[in-house]
Amino acid sequence: DVKVTQSSRYLVKRTGEKVFLECVQDMDHENMFWYRQDPGLGLRLIYFSYDVKMKEKGDIPEGYSVSREKKERFSLILESASTNQTSMYLCASSPGTGETQYFGPGTRLLVL
Amino acid sequence: SQKIEQNSEALNIQEGKTATLTCNYTNYSPAYLQWYRQDPGRGPVFLLLIRENEKEKRKERLKVTFDTTLKQSLFHITASQPADSATYLCALRAFSSASKIIFGSGTRLSIRP
């Protein structure tokens, strides 16, 4: 079974802090994704990566950056957290472009 | 503008009945459409995929239909059970965007005993 793990289930940070969310997958998938999920807005793509050190902006990249130094690990960085970044963050991986995505359990981030 | 919409935010039905969820899209040429299940506090889990040249797909008590003329997919759960209660998301991959899947906002399904 594919396993996607995220470093924290719950996180509380203060406005202006730098926040790192880590995601690791164990199935040698090429593609990895970061989404945020908010009530009524569904899943919105922040960034995705189709190879090590490669990244592409999704629909809402502002205020976020990503890092993929190793194939199995994809990090989401909030350079200076703001209250409107309070959300559920979901990481996913897939073996090829546009294929079935396998999700992690999510990180619920609260920015105070 | 491009949109993918799940018409009902919430659906409540009696155990044993068939639950039918709707997913509509506009201004997309879908290569395929997927359905996921999401339980509270968890990530979505893939259920079924249907390609643009397929009319229907089944898996146990689940059935998905795809009508590219109506620009609509229907997701059915037959003989529904309380354990089927969850949020169901449809997701579309367009021909024009090989690397991205677009998700609907989901329908929260509640099955009452």
Per-residue model confidence (pLDDT) at position B7: 77
pLDDT tens for each residue of A46-80: 999 988 988 999 989 999 999 999 999 999 999 99
What residues does each domain of chain B span? 3-106
Residues of chain A whose beta carbon is less than 8 angstroms from a beta carbon of chain B are 4, 31, 35, 40-43, 45, 48, 50, 56, 58, 90, 92, 97-98, 100-106, 108
Q: Are B12 and B61 in contact (CB under 8 A)?
A: no
Query: Which residue, A18, A20, A41, is CA-closest to A91?
Result: A20
CATH architecture for the domain at A4-111 = Sandwich (2.60)
Residue in A closest to B4 by C-alpha? A42
Per-residue model confidence (pLDDT) at position B98: 64
Token output for A91: 């990481």
Judge: B43–A106 Cβ closer than 8 Å, yes or no: yes
Residue in A closest to B104 by C-alpha? A42
Could you give the strand order of the β-sheet that contains B3-5, starting from the edge strand earlier in sequence?
A: B3-5, B19-26, B72-77, B62-67, B56-59
For residue B86, the chain A residues in CB contact (below 8 A) are none
Cα separation, A79 vs B105, in Å, equals: 27
Cα separation, B15 vs B37, in Å, equals: 18
Judge: A104–B43 Cβ closer than 8 Å, yes or no: yes
Query: Which residue, B59, B51, B62, B54, is CA-closest to B19?
Result: B62
pLDDT > 90: percent of chain A: 84
As assigned by CATH, the class of the B3-106 domain is: mainly beta
Cα separation, B69 vs B53, in Å, equals: 12
Per-residue model confidence (pLDDT) at position B21: 96
Task: Choose, out of B4, B51, B88, B99, the residue to mutate when testing the contact with A (most A CBs < 10 Å).
Answer: B99
